[in-house]
Structure 1
Amino acid sequence: MHVKPIKSESDYETALARVGDLMSAEPGSPEFDELEVLSTLVEAWEAKHHAIAHPDPIDAIAFRMEQAGLRQRDLVPYIGSASKVSEVMKRQRPLTLAMIKNLHSGLGIPAEVLLREPARGPGKDALDPARLPWGEIVKRGWLPGFTGTTREARSRCHELVACLVPQSANSCLQPALYRRSIRGGAAMDDHAVTAWTSRIVSLACAQTLPGRYERGIVDGAFVSGLVRLSFLDDGPRLAREYLGKHGIHLVVERHLPKTRVDGAATLLPDGSPVIGLSLRFDRLDNFWFCLAHELGHVALHLGEGGDEWFVDDLEAEAEGGERSREAEADAWASEALMPAETWAGVGSVRREAEVRALARKLSVSPAIIAGRVRFEQRNYKLLNDLVGQGEVRRQFGVA
């Protein structure tokens, strides 16, 4: 084994390439010893010269899952079992060299990233401005007046973090840093969630709504009026107007990588509710259910203090203490969109003509009925032409 110190960027790149070559080394071999030494040298160089160049390994795994549309169960072949996957993604179990080799070869995650020391578990570290997703923040133009590169933004992260929310809305930033209830199937990057929720707050605070929110207004009559708008071609846009007239902010912002967020809900310091939607799935059935789910949180769970966010990946199962509240919001949304008494009297509906006829009778979007049928039968190939694919983002000007 002949290992040289890393004294330049060229040495660093050479060492990284060699680390990749050695990932198949067997424990106890000279090559494995070389891998360990090189990994230590690479980490030391990065700590000094690239302190924020690479993501945390768990963040990198979550990002790769986001890119490939994977769930935690898809990691079992690389990590070993469902329980091990859960513990790794919750930062309760360290990655072993065998796991690192499997993730590197199977998912293409750079070895130098997986070899890094993971951050501590959620809630144990304060917000670190350096770990915010500056690439996306710069690309999306979230920093008014800033025209520099991502590298420049990262180098000025402590200064620019305050620019995520306009000065006029600084008092609204605080809810984005409050306690969060996150429903997610994969580990969500806390800093990416903070960036997204901060953006939602910023856009909400920039809105001037025509109406004032009255606590308790979100009830059966309120939601019945909202759902009737779904029957109209521009129902989603009209829904935002309807909510605004009742003092409820509806903000649309595409989700960030490593979040898988569908929607979120909170209260601003003035007590007005904010619902954020990512339109991650551009379908009418998804829009109406997600909106109703977040309104469920407004009606059932958000108190006067505005001290909490509900952040939801609606494909995921809620865990632990959040399971009951998420189940309540799911049930509230289902009842709001299609009351159980009405649905019980419908009978079997499978054909497109039957769905359209029922939609006309009930004055709701066919997408709501089609979505309900697909969900209950767990068959998402049914009624594809009725769920409104590609009909939501254009109404909000989202690419």
Structure 2
Amino acid sequence: MITNDRQYKITKSQIETFEESLAALSMTPIANENIDPRLLELHRNAIEVQLHELLNQTKEYEDLKAGNIVVSEVHTLADLPLALIKSRIANGLTQSQLADTLGLKMQQIQRYESEKYETASLKTLIKIAESLGIKINADIQIKTIEAPDNLDIKNYPFKQMFQRKWFNNFSGSFNDAIIDSKNLLESLFERAGLSSFQYSLTKKSIRSNSSLNTFALNAWYAQVVIKAKEQFMISTFDKEVITERWINTLAHLSCETDGPVKAVDFLKNSGIRFVIEPQLEGTFLDGAALLLDNKEPIIAMTLRHDRLDNFWFVLFHEIAHIHLHLSDSLTVIFDDLDVKIDGIEHEADEFSLNALIPNSVWKKSLVRFNPSKEAIINQAKTLKIHPALIAGRIRRESGRYYQFSDLIGQGEVRKHFSLDF
């Protein structure tokens, strides 16, 4: 769903791209008779489906803004999140204007809407509904449950944490660790500056699936913060450093044999801490962007997919979060990039794709429609990037992940970093 004018403009641009792609495909059989017409038809159908979905989204947004759709009453709480978003648009309010009405920051409303209000309290939901003139008419059943123990060993992949030596020089056996588990877990969070893990949950954004183990995620987060604090930084971060030239310089490092290592040094020289911490069981993470002490940015990556195309895409995705989304009201963003989601995550995906291969170039690139190993390598040389970045984007957009496996840099990332996976 489109929730603001920025997303609307992005979607319109995507529609234009798909329409150009269809036009180019219609000319392809004439230009190259060797292409199997069945493949062209499949490609054309896939684009048409995506185009149809985008057109429906833009029409809904246009109708809401024009007042053709009115939301005045909600009969089930499950319908409330979308009703709030649609009503805000139908009332002619931007996210910033609604935030001003409620005494909140615009980023807070943006995050609420991107997450379909999952982290908003009932009090906040009711307040927003009242400000938008929505009547809630729903039956509510309340059930009391016991709060889980944040220090209960059963909630964590404790053995995995012990094997990684997360417990600050603890020298006892695993059985000894089990006996002293509460103290060890508490110490882990305290060293991260997260005593008893009582930090504000409203400052987190999680892109993951429903089977996520939040206890494991919290522990992983604590370990990342501990490792980040241990790093000595010679530069102080300034958001203004992330310019087009800075982005291009970083992307061009992908050509280097030791590109991932040089990328880490490049980030640290810009005041961005970088941590590699493999995922814990139950976390399904690719990476995270967070603020240390609400001001110093950290990029954390798990390298769960040992491929160059994935490394560079995740890296720029987290850079996007630092550049566009992290703030006093949103200090931690966790990412499972296999999960599709709108809002700030879609923006970060688009930022990453455009940073690695500019959209202006990609729209006109013939390699999109008739990809071959030779064409990918030549395009990469022209753009001064690694072929894995182009091969990875083709696989991502086409859904054909079996293609160009020899170009994506399989096994070419972890070897640069001395970690156990």
TM-score bucket of the superposed structures, by smaller chain: 0.5 to 0.7
Q: How does 1:44-123 map to 2 (within 5 A)?
A: none
Cα RMSD, aligned residues only:
2.5
Say whether the 8 Å CA contact 2:207–2:335 is kept in structure 1: yes
Q: How does 1:355-366 map to 2 (within 5 A)?
A: 355-366=376-387
Q: Distance in 2 between matches of 1:234 and 1:145?
A: 32
Q: Indicate whether 1:153 and 2:172 are aligned.
A: no
Q: Distance in 2 between matches of 1:175 and 1:214?
A: 29
Say whether the 8 Å CA contact 1:267–1:306 is kept in structure 2: no
Give the corresponding residue for 2:311. 287
Say whether the 8 Å CA contact 1:134–1:150 is kept in structure 2: no
> What is the identity, as a one-letter code, of the residue corresponding to 1:335?
N
Q: Distance in 1 between matches of 2:293 and 2:197?
A: 8
Identity rate, percent: 32
In the TM superposition, what is the alpha-carbon distance from 1:220 to its structure 2 partner? 2.4
Say whether the 8 Å CA contact 2:157–2:216 is kept in structure 1: yes
Q: Distance in 2 between matches of 1:239 and 1:245?
A: 10
Q: Secondary structure at the match of 1:259?
A: coil
Q: Distance in 2 between matches of 1:316 and 1:341?
A: 26
Q: Indicate whether 1:344 and 2:363 are aligned.
A: yes
Give the corresponding residue for 1:317. 340
In the TM superposition, what is the alpha-carbon distance from 1:166 to its structure 2 partner? 7.8
> What is the identity, as a one-letter code, of the residue corresponding to 1:352?
K
Sort the Cα spacing of 1:177 and 1:184 in 2 relative to 1 into closer, same or farther, 3 A. same
In the TM superposition, what is the alpha-carbon distance from 1:120 to its structure 2 partner? 6.1
Sort the Cα spacing of 1:309 and 1:283 in 2 relative to 1 into closer, same or farther, 3 A. same
In the TM superposition, what is the alpha-carbon distance from 1:180 to its structure 2 partner? 2.2
Q: Indicate whether 1:384 and 2:405 are aligned.
A: yes
Give the corresponding residue for 1:296. 320
> What is the identity, as a one-letter code, of the residue corresponding to 2:237?
Y
Q: Distance in 1 between matches of 2:329 and 2:165?
A: 28
In the TM superposition, what is the alpha-carbon distance from 1:224 to its structure 2 partner? 1.3
Q: How does 1:1-399 map to 2 (within 5 A)?
A: 125=148, 127-130=150-153, 131-164=155-188, 167=191, 170=193, 178=201, 179-269=203-293, 271-303=295-327, 305=328, 307-318=330-341, 323-348=342-367, 349-399=370-420
Q: Distance in 2 between matches of 1:259 and 1:227?
A: 28
Sort the Cα spacing of 1:237 and 1:374 in 2 relative to 1 into closer, same or farther, 3 A. same
Q: Distance in 2 between matches of 1:327 and 1:263?
A: 15
> What is the identity, as a one-letter code, of the residue corresponding to 1:312?
D
Sort the Cα spacing of 1:250 and 1:314 in 2 relative to 1 into closer, same or farther, 3 A. same
Q: Distance in 1 between matches of 2:335 and 2:352?
A: 14
Sort the Cα spacing of 1:260 and 1:193 in 2 relative to 1 into closer, same or farther, 3 A. same
Say whether the 8 Å CA contact 1:211–1:247 is kept in structure 2: yes
> What is the identity, as a one-letter code, of the residue corresponding to 1:158?
K
Q: Secondary structure at the match of 1:216?
A: helix
Q: Secondary structure at the match of 1:384?
A: coil
Q: Distance in 1 between matches of 2:235 and 2:214?
A: 33
In the TM superposition, what is the alpha-carbon distance from 1:346 to its structure 2 partner? 1.5
> What is the identity, as a one-letter code, of the residue corresponding to 1:291?
L
TM-score, normalization by structure 2: 0.61
In the TM superposition, what is the alpha-carbon distance from 1:240 to its structure 2 partner? 0.2
Instruction: State the number of aligned residues.
Output: 274
Query: Following superposition, which runs of at least 4 residues in structure 1 exceed 4 angstroms of deviation?
Result: 171-178
Say whether the 8 Å CA contact 2:228–2:298 is kept in structure 1: yes
> What is the identity, as a one-letter code, of the residue corresponding to 2:415?
R
In the TM superposition, what is the alpha-carbon distance from 1:137 to its structure 2 partner? 1.2
In the TM superposition, what is the alpha-carbon distance from 1:164 to its structure 2 partner? 2.1
Unaligned runs of 5+ in 1: 1-118
Sort the Cα spacing of 1:358 and 1:388 in 2 relative to 1 into closer, same or farther, 3 A. same
Q: Secondary structure at the match of 1:386?
A: coil
**In the TM superposition, what whole-angstrom CA distance separates every residue of 1:290-323 from its partner, at most 9, and x where no partner exists?**
11111111111101x37531111111123xxxx3
Say whether the 8 Å CA contact 1:172–1:201 is kept in structure 2: no
Say whether the 8 Å CA contact 1:173–1:198 is kept in structure 2: no
Q: Distance in 1 between matches of 2:149 and 2:244?
A: 40
In the TM superposition, what is the alpha-carbon distance from 1:326 to its structure 2 partner? 0.8
In the TM superposition, what is the alpha-carbon distance from 1:125 to its structure 2 partner? 4.5
Sort the Cα spacing of 1:277 and 1:358 in 2 relative to 1 into closer, same or farther, 3 A. same
Q: Secondary structure at the match of 1:258?
A: coil
Say whether the 8 Å CA contact 2:150–2:196 is kept in structure 1: no
> What is the identity, as a one-letter code, of the residue corresponding to 2:291?
L
